Amino acid sequence: MRYFELFNIPVSLQVDQKLLSARYFTLQRQYHPDLFARSAPEEQEAALELTSLINQAFKTLKSPDDTIRYVLKEKGLLQEEEKYQLSPDFLMEMMELNEQLEENEDVTAATDRIQKEIYEPVKTIIADYQESVTTEEELLQVKEYYFRKKYLDRIGKQH
């Protein structure tokens, strides 16, 4: 079952967090394994599996980056453990940022600037995503953003 169907929310790259939380707690109240303690073993197992799926879906949809990854995977535009090729210009900029970090320079302003630069081209696509309207070309731009952001985040975590 697809995560958005499970929570009965529209497919989106920016999930309404209040609605997600409300649906999560409703599903937990309906399917929590403790409610099936006196049920047949098959029903207990089914409740346990469904609760596990609910928890995984909630964790994924709660994270903006994980939501983007999930939607791209669902659309067949992202493969597990994909080795995405970032542009040489971007990689050069990341190398310079890494060098600044190695020299213990404060790179917060540079990181913030790069974050804004990579988000700006996809901001509208992410905000206005519609399942049958957003084009594959637009989703490929989101994919580029996803990998750039992932790379930038990894540099930030290393230092």
Per-residue confidence band for 157, with pLDDT thresholds at 50, 70 and 90: confident
* Interatomic CA distance for residues 133 and 141, integer angstroms: 15
Residue 135 and residue 101 in one domain:
yes
Q: Identify whether 69 is part of a domain.
A: no
**Closest C-alpha to 71, from 155, 147, 12, 114:** 12
Q: Identify whether 71 is part of a domain.
A: no
- Helix axis angle for 41-62 and 17-31, nearest 10°, is 170
Q: Which residue has the higher pLDDT, 37 or 149?
A: 149
| Torsion of Cα atoms, 20 then 9 then 151 then 144, to 10° | -160
Residue 53 and residue 99 in one domain:
no
Residue 19 sits in a domain of what CATH number?
1.10.287.110
Per-residue confidence band for 50, with pLDDT thresholds at 50, 70 and 90: very high
Q: Give the CB-side neighbour count of residue 11, counting CA atoms within 13 A.
A: 16
The pLDDT tens digits for 76-118 are 999 988 999 999 999 999 998 888 888 877 778 888 889 999 9
Domain count for the chain, please give it. Answer: 2
pTM score above 0.85:
yes
